[in-house]
């Protein structure tokens, strides 16, 4: 009874909003011509322009937190713009390519390609996804492939500097870059999904003192239709990239750690923040456990809190991967995996990741041999997308130097691990391609002709 009443009032309120045209923002940061990354980076140095972007996000995208407003936009399929066919998808990729090619290590071309493949594999023929509104499915498709397109403008690991993080910046870029290519409702829902994808669970204070709010991500139903699903599919693609596996997460985490250390960035393990610099010491340690390291001040004295010395928990690379894989099977469900079970495709793909993670950890922990680090270098280069940008090339060289600092005993543990990871890389690509090839979704069908060229950029 209650769901029917709620659906009635949602529909009534959505109609009211549409009648009074409250779906249009009062003001936008104007993009008369599409900014190049260098131009936008320069604009972002201007505080007035930053505030325009904040205003646009709060006035145009944040209102979608209202369920009735979101429902109205999700159901609005009126269009004066061309349909989403292969040429349309290619036009979006072409418009975003200057940003994507400048992505920071672990968030560069290869990451975007795998996100595009992962999102398409989830959407392809999934019954739960197919029950959503067309606008949401299309928004999920574009959100999956575009959600990190801002890292070439603002580095991924300085998300706590001011009001907007990399997801919210990417939402702004996507919305303005796709004017005239996609219909307004899809652009707006995609921007919302991209802004929400970092999955903040509580308010945080940025360095400039501003308070950053989490994005409303609750799925609700209208009749039998799930609504706000685009947010979750966009997040799912990121979790497929971070599934604890050897195929994509291993090379991606190695690059991200070096990149984060280079700029003095911080990462999160459980509820404890740790420095990427600290983790460098234990990146290739073959044991899958967390190191507990006393925190020290610049003068060498221990950092104290509540009368006790502060102990930082630093995960090895294997522990980091193990933690991600474990989160996929959390029950009771965690905030991160709470909807996985609704999607057959998401469950199947994540199961592959979890199984692969367990095999990698067992192999590296318990076997030794003669490691071929050049094979891992090739894996890193492929995963990053060819040709590698200069920042990624430099980071790979830093990783080679770091590897050479490890003892021969520690290095020996990675022999079978590197071989297994390289083989798994192509197995994962084959699995994604197989899912996409079985697509019944019209947007994924339109994407199919582009898949071979994209895969050529991440394979030999």
Closest CA to 328 of 313, 314, 343: 343
Bond from prior residue into 29 cis (ω within 30 degrees of 0):
no
pLDDT above 70: percentage of residues in the chain: 89
Among the listed residues 273, 255, 377, the one whose alpha carbon sits nearest the alpha carbon of residue 317: 255
pLDDT at 264: 63
- Contact residues for 32 (Cβ-Cβ < 8 A; gap 6+): none
CA 349 to CA 371: how far, in whole Å? 29
Q: What is the mean pLDDT of residues 317-343?
A: 84
Mean pLDDT in residue range 59-66: 95
Highest mean pLDDT among 16-20, 174-178, 239-243: 174-178
pLDDT digits (tens, 9 = 90+) for 393-404: 999 999 999 999
Q: 440 pLDDT exceeds 50?
A: yes
User: Is the predicted pLDDT of residue 421 greater than 70, yes or no?
Assistant: yes
243-264 pLDDT, tens digit each: 889 999 999 989 988 887 776 6
Taking only the tens place, the pLDDT of each residue in 7-17 is 544 554 455 45
Span 31-55, mean pLDDT?
86
Distance CA 365, CA 387 (A): 33
In the predicted model, what is the mean pLDDT of residues 268-288?
A: 70
Q: Is pLDDT of 33 > 80?
A: no
At residue 8, the pLDDT reads 44
Q: Which of 121-130, 313-322, 335-344 is predicted with the least confidence, judged by mean pLDDT?
A: 313-322
Please give the Cα distance from 445 to 165 (Å, whole number): 33
CA-nearest of 192, 198, 365 to 287 is: 365
| Upper half-sphere CA count for residue 402 (Cβ side, 13 Å) | 23
Q: What is the pLDDT of residue 371?
A: 96
Residues 401-415 have pLDDT tens digits of: 999 999 999 999 999
232, pLDDT greater than 60: yes
Is pLDDT above 80 for 25? no
Q: What pLDDT shows up at residue 22?
A: 44
Residue with tokens 């303005």: 176
Q: Return the percentage of the chain with pLDDT > 90, whole number.
A: 63
Task: Tell me how far apart the alpha carbons of residues 232 and 211 are, in angstroms, rounded to a whole number.
Answer: 24
Tell whether the model's pLDDT for residue 26 goes beyond 80. Answer: no
Mean pLDDT, the chain, as a whole number?
Answer: 87
Over residues 105-133, the mean pLDDT reads 97
The tens digit of pLDDT for each residue in 351-400 reads: 999 999 999 999 999 999 999 999 999 999 999 999 999 999 999 999 99
pLDDT band, very low/low/confident/very high, at 342 (cuts 50, 70, 90): very high
> Is pLDDT of 32 > 60?
no
Q: Report the pLDDT averaged over residues 176-183.
A: 93
3-state secondary structure the chain: CHHHHHHHHHHHHHHHHHHCCCCCCCCCCCCCCCCCHHHHHHHHCCHHHHHHHHHHHHHHHHHHHCHHHHHHHHHCCCCCCCCCCHHHHHHHHHHHHHHHCCCCCCCCHHHHHHHHHHHHHHHCCCHHHHCCCHHHHHHHHHHHHHCCCCCCCCCHHHCCCCCCCHHHHHHHHHHHHCCCCCCHHHHHHHHHHHHHCCCCCCCEECCCCCEECCCCCCCEEECCEEECHHHHHHHHHHHHHCCCCCCCHHHHHHHHHHHHHHCCCEEEECCEEEEHHHHHCCCCCCCCCEEEEECECCCCCECEECCEECEEEEECHHHHHHHHHHHHCCCCCCCCCCCHHHCHHHHHHHHHHHHHHHHHHHHHHHCCCCCCHHHHHHHHHHHHCCCCCHHHHHHHHHHHHHHHCCCHHHHHCCHHHHHHHHHHHHHHHHHHHHHHHCCCCHHHHHHHHHHHHHHHCCCC
Given a cut of 70, whether residue 28 has pLDDT beyond it is: no
pLDDT, position 21:
46
Q: Determine the Cα–Cα distance for residues 241 and 261; give it in Å rounded to an integer.
A: 20
Q: In the structure, what pLDDT confidence band is assigned to residue 206 with cuts at 50, 70 and 90?
A: confident
Phi/psi region, residue 87 (left: phi>0; alpha: psi -120 to 50; beta: rest), is alpha
CA separation, residue 74 to residues 132, 215, 334 (Å): 9, 17, 27
Query: Is the pLDDT assigned to residue 103 strictly greater than 50?
Result: yes
pLDDT number for residue 3: 55
Q: Between 275 and 397, whose confidence is greater?
A: 397
Contact (CB, 8 A) for 458 and 113: yes
Pick 323 or 29 by higher pLDDT. Answer: 323
Query: Is 1 a residue whose pLDDT tops 70?
Result: no
> pTM of the predicted model, to two decimals?
0.87
Q: Give the separation between CA 347 and CA 388, rounded to whole angstroms.
A: 32
Identity of the highest mean pLDDT range in 72-81, 256-265, 325-334, 378-387: 378-387
């Amino acid at each position: 009874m209650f769901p029917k009443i709620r659906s009635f009032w949602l529909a009534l309120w959505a109609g009211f909003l549409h009648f009074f045209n409250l779906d249009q923002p009062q003001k936008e940061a104007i993009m008369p011509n599409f900014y190049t990354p260098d131009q936008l980076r320069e604009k972002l140095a201007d505080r007035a322009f930053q505030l325009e972007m904040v205003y646009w996000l709060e006035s145009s995208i944040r209102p979608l937190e209202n369920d009735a407003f979101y429902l109205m936009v999700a159901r609005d399929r009126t269009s004066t713009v061309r349909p989403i066919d292969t040429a349309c998808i290619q036009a979006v990729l072409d418009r975003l390519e200057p940003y994507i090619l400048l992505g920071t290590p672990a968030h560069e071309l290869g990451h975007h390609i795998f996100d595009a493949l992962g999102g398409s594999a989830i959407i392809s023929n999934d019954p739960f996804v197919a029950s959503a509104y067309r606008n949401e499915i299309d928004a999920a498709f574009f959100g999956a492939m575009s959600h990190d397109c801002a890292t070439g403008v603002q580095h991924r690991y300085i998300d706590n500097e001011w009001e907007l993080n990399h997801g919210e910046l990417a939402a702004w870029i996507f919305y303005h870059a796709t004017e005239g290519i996609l219909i307004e409702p899809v652009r707006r829902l995609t921007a919302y999904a991209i802004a929400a994808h970092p999955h903040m669970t509580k308010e945080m204070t940025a360095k400039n003192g501003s308070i950053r709010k989490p994005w409303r991500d609750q799925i609700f139903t209208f009749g039998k239709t799930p609504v706000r699903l685009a947010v979750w599919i966009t997040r799912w693609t990121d979790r497929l990239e971070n599934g604890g596996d050897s195929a994509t997460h291993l090379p991606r985490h190695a690059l991200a750690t070096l990149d984060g250390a280079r700029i003095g960035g911080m990462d999160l393990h459980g509820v404890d923040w740790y420095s990427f610099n600290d983790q460098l010491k234990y990146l290739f340690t073959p044991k899958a456990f967390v190191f507990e390291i006393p925190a020290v001040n610049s003068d060498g004295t221990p950092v104290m809190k509540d009368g006790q010395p502060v102990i930082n928990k630093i995960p090895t690379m294997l522990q980091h991967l193990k933690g991600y894989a474990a989160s996929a099977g959390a029950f009771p469900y965690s905030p991160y995996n709470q909807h996985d079970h609704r999607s057959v495709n998401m469950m199947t793909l994540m199961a592959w990741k979890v199984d692969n993670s367990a095999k990698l950890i067992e192999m590296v922990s318990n076997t030794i041999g003669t490691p071929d680090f050049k094979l891992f270098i090739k894996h890193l280069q492929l995963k990053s997308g060819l040709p590698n940008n200069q920042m990624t090339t430099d980071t790979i060289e830093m990783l080679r130097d770091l590897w050479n600092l490890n003892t021969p005993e520690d290095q020996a543990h990675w022999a079978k691990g590197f071989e297994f990871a390289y083989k798994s890389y192509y197995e994962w690509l084959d699995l994604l391609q197989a899912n996409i090839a079985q697509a019944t979704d019209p947007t994924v069908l339109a994407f199919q002709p582009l898949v071979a060229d994209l895969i050529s950029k991440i394979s030999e």
